[in-house]
Structure formats: C-alpha cells, structure tokens
Amino acid sequence: LFEDAGTGTPLSGMAEAFEELCVLIKSGGGGRGDGYDLRLKPFCDACSLVSVLFGCLGIAFKFAEMEYVSKVRDLAEASKRHGSLNTILDIDVKNDTVRTPGSLSRNLRRVRQGLDLIRALFQNFLSSDDYSLKEAASTAYAQVCAPYHTWAVRTAVSAGMCALPTREQLLLKLNETDESAEKEMRRYINASLPIIQYIDKLYISRNISLDW
C-alpha cells in the first residue's frame, strides 16, 4: 500500500501523511451530518512531520520552529480530551475564546497558516528554476502570514530570510533531486489544499471571519 514506507524522504513522508488525511475527509462520513469529523490525533501527526523542514532552515528560524511546534503540541495534548477539530471550535465558541491567545481554536488557525505557508512556498519554488529559496519563501510569507503578524515578527522573519540555504543546499538536505522534489512538493500542494479548505470551513460555518 505505501511503497516508500521506511525508505521515504522527509518530503515524501509529509506528502503521504496529508494524502491520507485527504482520503479521510473525502470519505464524507463521520457522523455529524456536515462532512467528515476529522480527529485531532491524525491531524497533529501529519502536522508534526512538517517540522522536519525546520531542520533545513538553520538557526535563524529556531523561533518559528518553537512557535509552530508548541502550537501543534498543545493541539496534540488536547486530542486526549477533545476528539476532533469540530469539538475544539465548539468549545471555544461556547466560551467566547476563539481568538484568545493560546486557545486551541487560535492555535489551529496558526497551524493552518503554517501549512498554507509551506504550500505557497512549494508553489513558488516550482514556478521557476531561477527563483531562489529566499525569494520563494519571502513571497509566500508576504502572501500567507505577514498580514497577520506583528511588525516585530515580520522584521525578524525578513532578517532570517537572508540566512536561508540555496535551492541546491535545500534539496541536498532533503535528500531530493530536482525531479523528486518536484514530484513530492506537488503531492503536498495537492493534498494540503483540501485540508486547509476543510479547516477554513470549520470557522466560516460558525460565522467566524478569517481576517486574523
């Protein structure tokens, strides 16, 4: 079933994990009548795999890694008490804590932005061989995350961008060739989009805006 299990690269592991989530949410069922009720545990397991990328970015993105990892960890911790993504939204809506710093619904929104950032980054990376990793990442960050980050964070990120490796160094660290990276990045792009849309729908269906 999973032919590259065990021998896969970090990118193929990420792609595979999100493809498996896609199969789940597209299966439709789950008992709530409004689509599949995605459990927190498999979602967090997939999100954790993304952290392997941080290892390729160097010390400048240590703070981004700590931010992302701690939010995924909070969600994974909550998976023991609350079953699904729907549940945490319901609880925060009831307590009026959807946007409260540190709340699970806010952490979910931030993790979703991290997934989208990587999707946009891969898309930019593949759009042209002449695009440096720094350009691809800066553009993706400006599109996906910068509008929601403070000035201090945006400044730190733009400084960190200068320390990113080159395209060739990144591929080497990821144990990919140009061709294999293209294949795995496309798999992630295609599989992450339905998950991102699924998460957005959780908020929109509860009349929560996405401008934060």
Residue 204 belongs to what H/E stretch? helix 178-204
User: Which part of the chain contacts ligand 1PZ (CB under 6 A), choosing from 33-41, 52-60, 82-90, 194-202?
Assistant: 52-60
**Taking CB under 6 A as the rule, does residue 11 contact ligand 1PZ?**
no
Contact by Cβ (8 Å): 21, 41: no
> Which residue, 53 or 104, is less far from ligand 1PZ as judged by CB?
53
Inter-residue contact 177 to 168 (CB < 8 Å): no
Residue 113 lies near ligand 1PZ (rule: CB under 6 A): yes
Burial of 6 (0-12, 13-18, 19+ CB in 10 A): exposed
* DSSP count for the chain of H helices, then E strands: 9, 0
Binding window for ligand 1PZ (CB under 6 A); candidates: 79-87, 141-149, 184-192, 195-203: 141-149
Distance CA 18, CA 49 (A): 10
Q: Does 118 bind ligand 1PZ (CB under 6 A)?
A: yes
Select 36 or 119, whichever has its Cβ closest to ligand 1PZ. 119
* Residue 122 interacts with ligand 1PZ (CB under 6 A): yes or no: no
- 137 lies in the site for ligand 1PZ, by CB under 6 A: yes
Contacts to ligand 1PZ from residues 142-161, by CB under 6 A = 145, 149, 153, 157
- Whether 48 contacts 111, CB under 8 Å: no
Six-digit token pair at 207?
């009349």
- Binding region for ligand 1PZ (CB under 6 A): 50, 53-54, 56-57, 61, 63-64, 67-68, 71, 101, 106, 110, 113-114, 117-118, 121, 137, 141, 145, 149, 153, 157
